[in-house]
Amino acid sequence: SKVAETLAEFRGNFRYNLLDENLRRFNARVPSIVQWDDHEVRNNWYPGQVIAATDDRYTEKSVDVLAARARRAFAEYFPVSTLRPGAREGRVHRVLRQGPLLDVFVLDMRTYRNANSPGGQTVDPQGILGREQLEWLKRELARSRAVWKVIAADMPIGLVVPDATEGAPNIEAIAQGDPGAPLGRELQIAELLRFVKHRRITGTVWLTADVHHTSAQHYQPSRAAFDDFEPFWEFVSGPLNAGAFPASELDGTFGPERVFVKAPTASNVSPAGGYQFFGEVDIDGDSAEMTVRLREQDGTVLFTKVLRPGRVGQ
């Protein structure tokens, strides 16, 4: 099939999905909080990227041009209050306040990132969020009075996600496999985690996907090279209908322990072969306890974790 390049083609990608009756029924019944990732534009893209002249799939080589078209189509097909169709300004990152028990902080780890690289920089002010989004997140976390502050991140923190699309050993996410002091995009995450600790912000939980398997990581400063943070959990779940991939390597900088994982041993296993996952989060209205369940596509519970409210670390 042809890659999307024009606005009409990006619109067509979203329209094609809506041909499926099951998806239309799901959309009619289930409210969704949406964020975008690389595949709204092209695999592993970053701002300023220029597609290689040898890639004859694309006549438009500027990823910024492609991203602008994809962003408009995305805004037309998904109800994002901060991103109006056709508007020059707007953003995907936002906070959705769900009452006294929950605020959801939706991140955009694609639009403002620096170029994918091996990730060994000792200074990296742009990082994966960009300075403006990082300051927004710190400000909104400090302002939140919700019991739980769920950070919906489109990429994991301590899982190494390589990017070989440009023929170099680059990193697509945050971790780069060096278990020592923070480097590259890890510097920005270290700044955020330090801020959460010193501002005594309670109830932060990270939910993410991207890596095509399901897992639960507990981050603990006593295991970490960088230890100026409080313990926290990160839950990974997906995909719903895509190829599944083996478990990612862990980077020890922030002390992750993989408490649970289910993943194939081969790459790009068809959905027909299983390994399709989703997560479920319940907050008890009386106790305010949060229960996270990782489930298989048929609803089977694979892993359960109950988190207590009112703690800076978990």
Return the biggest CA–CA distance within the chain: 60
CB atoms within 10 A of CB 286: 5
CA–CA dist 78, 93 (Å, integer)? 14
Phi, psi (5° rounding) for residue 28? -70, -25
Question: Which residues make Cβ contacts (< 8 Å) with residue 178, sequence separation at least 6?
Answer: 119, 120, 251, 253
pLDDT at res. 270: 97
Question: Which residues make Cβ contacts (< 8 Å) with residue 225, sequence separation at least 6?
Answer: 179, 180, 181, 182, 252, 253, 255
pLDDT at res. 313: 83
pLDDT at res. 308: 97
Domain 93-307 adopts which CATH fold? Transcription Regulator spoIIAA (3.30.750)
pLDDT at res. 120: 96
Cis peptide before 239 (omega within 30 of 0): yes
This prediction has a pTM of 0.96
Residues in the chain with pLDDT < 70? Answer: 86-88
Enumerate the CATH 3.30.750.180 domain ranges in the chain, comma separated: 93-307
Helices (H), 109-258: 131-143, 186-198
CB atoms within 10 A of CB 301: 10
CA distances from 36 to 4, 62, 305, 310 (A): 16, 19, 27, 31
pLDDT at res. 1: 83
Per-residue tokens: 247: 């478990």
Per-residue tokens: 172: 């697509």
Cβ–Cβ under 8 Å, residues 193 and 228: yes
The three-point CA angle 236-93-11 to 5° equals 90
Cβ–Cβ under 8 Å, residues 314 and 233: yes
